[in-house]
Amino acid sequence: MKRIVSLVVNGQQFEDAVDDNMLLIDYLREIRRLTGVKRGCDGGECGACTVLVDGRARPSCITFASLCDGSAIETIEGQARNGRLSPLQRAFHENLGAQCGFCTPGMIMAAEALLRRTPDPDDDAIRAALGGNLCRCTGYVKIIGSVRAAAAASP
Amino acid sequence: MSNALPDFDLLRPQSVEEAVAALQTSPSARLCAGGTDLIVNMRHGLVELETLVDLGAVVAMKRLEADAAGLHIGAGVTLRDLAESEAVSESYTAIRQAALAVAGPGHRAVATVGGNLCLETRCLYYNQSHWWRKANDFCLKYRGETCHVAPTGNRCRAAFCGDLAPALMVFGAKIEIAGPNGIRRIALPDLYREDGADHLTLAACEIITAIHIAPSKAKSGYAKVRIRGAIDFPLAGVAIACERGSPSARSFRIAVTGTNSCPLLLDGPAPLADGDDPDAYFGALNKLVQKAVSPQRTTTTGAHYRRLAVAALAARLAKELVDG
Ligand SMILES: Cc1cc2nc3c(=O)[nH]c(=O)nc-3n(C[C@H](O)[C@H](O)[C@H](O)COP(=O)(O)OP(=O)(O)OC[C@H]3O[C@@H](n4cnc5c(N)ncnc54)[C@H](O)[C@@H]3O)c2cc1C
Ligand code: SF4
Ligand code: FES
Ligand code: FES
């Protein structure tokens, strides 16, 4: 069945007709054309598809779009403001936190959820917050360093 | 565009009564709580349903409260909220540690206690894509004729891999179940049976609504072995509650997961008494756990290793609870 859902995506209000069985990843990629939401494992295991739902990081590939009715969704596309990278985007760029870049949108969204709750996390907290995100390139050291740098750079 | 999942009707009941009624609307209706297990299995083509009953709006199942009667955990409480609860952190360490050991933070933000207790059993030959299983002629648990793990047997040996059940069991948890015939309460171990294809004793259209735990002074812990340090099911997990008797005897309640088709609350061991030799005692405890479990070839990691690992974990954890 289709139903109308009302979602705020990256600050903009949308009303869309969505099938009950449509996954949030497909809504974001196919209807909203936000292809920064990456499809990695497509089964809840890798975190590449991580977005924020009401400020909490969630794998969008195992989330139904229709059950997010009334929620605010944030993706990597909403992070830069007026052409300026977010502190995390800048830190990943400057600290080699991204190599191939496929895991990066999910990493940044998971880290964003962390920094909003815990602006000055220690390494253990960073590791725990990124525990659901896999990276096949970096070995994680640069990613953790990037999150640390973003925390230090944020006012 | 095409959707990844077959079509179904989504119902969003607001109360437990409505949820039970919603389940009765179709023989294939299924509950969805956080969906972190169910949706993955739906995507693998392992679940056929016409109606999905989302529990997200049933506010009454999200209550988490501690009082003189102990701890009341609504089945809809998320693992994140459970782990962050002060009452749980203060008195029920094993429950907190088990909740934190489940999947990743993004899962735990929505994954529920009820969903974790009712987690589908797992097997190397089952948690695969449709084409993978089809190429292998399926198996007993789903559409097939034989079990690839124990081909001479007639029973599915898929393993129950929920982290929370053993941690709740060592505190003597009781669960409340609502169904078409009203409400009943059972001890948590009675929710399960040793059958990988049918491991829950819930009747049709029944819902777990809450978990009750009596107040406890026991020291407790949960430990698991897994292949990766995060986002991974237990190859084996063990929870222990340790209570001090008089004058310094210690009694242990031990429960395990990952080794059988259901979590097990073990019988024994006899309490550790004052004059006992600790090494001999923990050695015997190790042997007792080894004997009680029956891991099968359901993971890439060998069954014998899992037997040894769960016993070693149990002996180590018990010793830590005495020494620590
Ligand atoms: C990558 C990954 C890693 C994971 N790692 C772990 C792990 O380490 N340990 C672990 O334990 N789990 C793990 N899981 C599985 C899952 O995330 C958790 O078990 C979670 O707690 C399931 O809860 P849920 O609310 O999402 O359940 P759902 O997926 O919503 O439901 C699971 C099952 O329970 C039934 N159900 C739900 N609520 C009720 C109820 N109140 N009454 C009766 N039946 C109910 C559903 O119908 C369904 O059959 C992992 C999952 C993924 C994708
Ligand atoms: S234990 Fe056997 S029947 Fe059960 S899922 Fe595995 S292969 Fe299939
Ligand atoms: S694509 Fe969603 S977790 Fe991997
Ligand atoms: S940078 Fe390539 S997967 Fe992480």
pLDDT digits (tens, 9 = 90+) for B279-288: 999 999 999 9
CA distance A86 to B305: 47
CA of B237 to the centre of ligand 2 (A): 20
Q: Shortest Cα distance from B262 to chain A (angstroms)?
A: 24
Per-residue tokens: A2? 């289709």
CATH at residue B314: 3.30.390.50
pLDDT tens readout for residues B245-277 = 877 789 999 999 999 999 999 997 899 998 899
Does B103 have pLDDT greater than 60? yes
Place of tokens 């990952």: B258
User: Is residue B77 included in any domain, yes or no?
Assistant: yes
pLDDT per residue as tens digits for the range B62-102: 999 999 999 999 999 999 999 999 999 999 999 999 999 99
Q: Is residue B208 lining ligand 1, measured as CB closer than 6 Å?
A: yes
A87-153: CATH, from 3.60.21.10, 2.40.50.140, 1.10.150.120, 1.10.287.130: 1.10.150.120
Domain that holds residue B7: 1-54
Asked if the Cβ–Cβ distance from A44 to B4 is below 8 Å, we say no
Does residue B145 form part of some domain?
A: no
Q: Band the pLDDT of B115: cuts 50, 70, 90.
A: very high
B5 Cβ under 8 Å from any chain A Cβ:
yes
Sign of CA dihedral A29, A32, A35, A40: negative
User: Mean of the pLDDT values across residues B42-49?
Assistant: 93
Q: Residues of A with CB below 8 A from B3's CB?
A: 19, 21-23, 26
Do B11 and B71 reside in the same domain of the chain?
no
Closest C-alpha to ligand 4, atom 2: A100
**CA distances, B102 to each of A14, B83, B96, B110, B232 (Å):** 34, 11, 10, 12, 7
Rounded to 5°, the CA angle A111-A113-A119 comes to 80
Q: How many CB atoms lie within 10 A of CB B187?
A: 12
Domains A2-78 and A87-153 equal at CATH topology level: no
Residues of A in contact with B8 (CB under 8 A): 20-21
Same domain, B231 and B91: yes
Residue B93 shares a structural domain with residue B23: no
Mean pLDDT of B289-303: 95
Residue B134 lies in a domain: no
Please, which residues bridge with residue B71 across strands? B66, B213
Omega before residue B180 within 30° of 0, cis: no
Query: A134: which chain B residues are within 8 Å (Cβ-Cβ)?
Result: 231
pLDDT at B229: 84
Asked if the Cβ–Cβ distance from B231 to A1 is below 8 Å, we say no
**pLDDT-based confidence at residue B2 (cuts at 50, 70, 90):** low
The answer to the question of residue B138 being in a domain is no
Ligand 4 binding site (Cβ under 6 Å of any ligand atom):
A 98-104, 135-138
Q: How much of chain B exceeds pLDDT 90, in percent? A: 92
> ω into residue B234 within 30 of 0, thus cis?
no
Under CATH, to which class is A2-78 assigned? Answer: alpha beta
Interface of B with A in 53-82 (CB under 8 A): 54, 56
Number of the ligand closest to the Cα of A105: 4
Tell me the pLDDT of chain A (155 aa) as tens digits. 899 999 999 999 999 999 999 999 999 999 999 999 999 998 999 999 999 999 999 999 999 999 999 999 999 999 999 999 999 999 999 999 999 999 999 999 999 999 999 999 999 999 999 999 999 999 999 999 999 999 999 77
Q: What is the pLDDT of residue B292?
A: 97
Please tell me the distance between residue B189's alpha carbon and the centre of ligand 4 in angstroms. 43
| Alpha helices by DSSP H, chain B | 16-23, 38-43, 79-84, 86-91, 93-100, 105-108, 113-117, 130-135, 164-169, 278-292, 303-323
Q: For residue A30, which residues of chain B lie inside 8 Å, CB to CB? A: 1
Q: Please state the rounded mean pLDDT for residues B116-123.
A: 98
Complete DSSP assignment for A46-103: S-TTEEEETTEEEEGGGSBSGGGTT-EEE-GGGTSBTTB--HHHHHHHHTT--SS-SS
Q: Which ligand is nearest to the CA of A37?
A: 3
Question: Does A66 sit within 8 Å of B10, measured CB to CB?
Answer: yes
- Angle among Cα B115, B120, B124 to the nearest 5 degrees reads 140
Ramachandran sector of residue A147 (left: φ over 0; alpha: ψ -120 to 50; beta: rest) = alpha
With cut-offs at 50, 70 and 90, classify the pLDDT of residue B162. very high
With CB atoms and an 8 Å threshold, state whether B106 touches A132. yes
| Interface contact B97, partner A, CB < 8 A | no
In the reported structure, the alpha carbon of residue B42 is separated from the centroid of ligand 3 by a whole-number distance in angstroms of 15
Contact between B272 and B252 under an 8 Å Cβ cutoff? The reply is: yes
The answer to whether residues B48 and B165 belong to one domain is no
Is pLDDT of B1 > 70?
no
